[in-house]
Amino acid sequence: MKNLKPCQKVLIVEDQYLIAMMIEDAVIAAGFDVCGMAACRQDAIDLLDETDIALVDVNLHDGKTGPSIGAELAAAGKTVIFMTGNPEEVASGVSGALGVTSKPVLDAELAELVSYAAARCAVSDDTYLPPRNLHLFA
């Protein structure tokens, strides 16, 4: 049996407060902990050590910094999924990130995304099938 690393702490990188709150509610309802919300690069980096999984928007308070934030989090070993209304902005992939899904995302879909990310974080392989609304990066 594989040695599973628990991946329960989710960082929400989203600059629209109401959307961030809705994502937080869905993540908690799915059984995960939210370690924080970030609306810009510095806020996200400040929460780096608390994070296992990051849900990252592309456009934030400090501009289109989502891709660079996602790459930085992934380089630090975090599991990153982009959630954006502009999936074409990261369609070619972001180094180390898992993939992208288009907003809006239903709560049930969000639960599937986070559960999939947690499974991938724990076993670091592709044993699990991705949710249909997740476009995996190569």
CATH number at residue 28: 3.40.50.2300
Secondary structure class of 44 (helix, strand, coil): helix
How many other C-beta atoms lie within 10 A of the C-beta of residue 3? 6
Bridging pattern class, strands 99-102 and 135-136: antiparallel
Residue 40 lies in a domain: yes
Instruction: Say how many domains are in the chain.
Output: 1
Residue 4 lies in a domain: no
Residue 61 lies in a domain: yes
Mean of the per-residue pLDDT values of the chain: 92
Residue 67 lies in a domain: yes
Residue 137 lies in a domain: no
Residues in Cβ contact with 39 at an 8 Å cutoff, skipping those fewer than 6 apart: 13, 14, 15, 17, 20, 60, 61
The per-residue pLDDT for range 83-95, each reduced to its tens digit, is 999 999 999 999 9
Residue 35 lies in a domain: yes
Secondary structure class of 100 (helix, strand, coil): strand
Alpha helices in 1-138 (DSSP H): 17-29, 41-46, 66-75, 107-123
The per-residue pLDDT for range 54-110, each reduced to its tens digit, is 999 999 999 999 999 999 999 999 999 999 999 999 999 999 999 999 999 999 999
pLDDT above 70 coverage of the chain, percent: 94
